[in-house]
Structure 1
Amino acid sequence: MDFLLGQNNLWIALIALASGALLLWPSLSKGRSNARIALTDAIQQINREQGLFVDIRPAEQFKAGHIPQARNITLDTLESHVGTLPQDKPIVVVDAHGREGARAVTQLRKHGFQRVSCLDGGLNAWTEGGMPLKKS
């Protein structure tokens, strides 16, 4: 018992506990409402399970360039379009930089959508990944 209560050993034990907590943090925070998904994972999920990209940017930005087959539903009109979205398929929310999407994910989860995530990095990640854009 003296071994654990020694000054140096106490510091080592505290550092070990803190390190363990930091290692567990990503696993514990996975189920949060602002779940992000990497570009390659999003593409695979959409292709394999016939999911849907929902672009929440303003219509002008959407028309300037968007992910092919993406639906444009702005963040302020999302509540009124909830009934038109499939609850049994994955939904990936897309914004410009990956910052606004968390709010849309939270809104959709409040309406019972379980398989919804936000594209990490938004449309910027899409274009930086060399993926095609469609202009309307």
Structure 2
Amino acid sequence: MKFFIDNWFLFLAAATSGGLLLWPLLQRGVTGPKLSPSEAVMLINREKAQLIDVSEPAEYAAGHAAGAKNVPLANLETSGELPKNKALPLVVLCPTGARAARAVGILQKLGYENSRALAGGFAAWREANLPVEKSAA
């Protein structure tokens, strides 16, 4: 007990650094779990989920999931491209999945509570041999 009292600042520093290490994990949990490509397909087929690609227009034109709507992350809050029915499930993707996770947080603040990111993004979609489209240049 004397050791703890004499070195309380070391224990405080250890607890603080541990909390800072766990913070990103806790933040990821706020946006909800990510979907695998097969889970995304089941959600699309069973619940009529819509694919929202938050890539930049040039990235989207180079290749995107078939049927995905392009709503760049920067335009997400002001876009008229999002479905009017906020109860409709949304599967959000981008090239790697990083922007999609941020987009889910924004969408949930906008009232789209049933939105989830695709784990691995478009790369995982393509790897799963799911349909891909390219926009006409």
TM-score tier (shorter) = 0.7 to 0.9
Look up the match of 1:60: 58
State the Cα deviation string for residues 55-79 of structure 1 (Å, max 9, x = none). Answer: 0001111111111110000000000
Sequence identity (%):
33
Residues 1:75 and 1:63: Cα distance change in structure 2 (over 3 Å): same
Q: Distance in 1 between matches of 2:120 and 2:110?
A: 24
The aligned amino acid for 2:108 is R
SS at match of 2:117: strand
Task: Determine helix, strand or coil for the equivalent of 1:126.
Answer: helix
Runs of 4+ in 1 over 3 A off after TM superposition: 28-31
Alignment TM-score, normalising by the size of structure 2 = 0.73
Q: How far apart, CA to CA, are the structure 2 residues paired with 1:35 and 1:61?
A: 25
Evaluate the alpha carbon distance shift between residue 99 and residue 48 of structure 1 in structure 2; reply closer, same or farther with a 3 A threshold.
Answer: same
Amino acid of the structure 1 residue aligned with 2:38: T
Paired position in structure 2 for 1:72: 70
Aligned to 2:45: 47
* SS of residue matched to 1:54: strand
What displacement does 1:49 show? 1.1
In structure 2, list runs of 5 or more residues that go unmatched. Answer: 1-25
Measured on the aligned residues, the alpha-carbon RMSD in Å equals 2.1
Q: Report SS of the residue matched to 1:93.
A: strand
With over 3 angstroms needed to count, the CA separation of the structure-2 counterparts of 1:89 and 1:31, relative to structure 1, is farther
SS in 2 for 1:36: coil
2:96/2:120 contact within 8 Å kept: yes
Distance 1:109 1:82, change over 3 A: farther
In structure 2, relative to structure 1, the CA distance for the partners of 1:114 and 1:133 (3 Å cut) is same
How many residues align? The count is 109
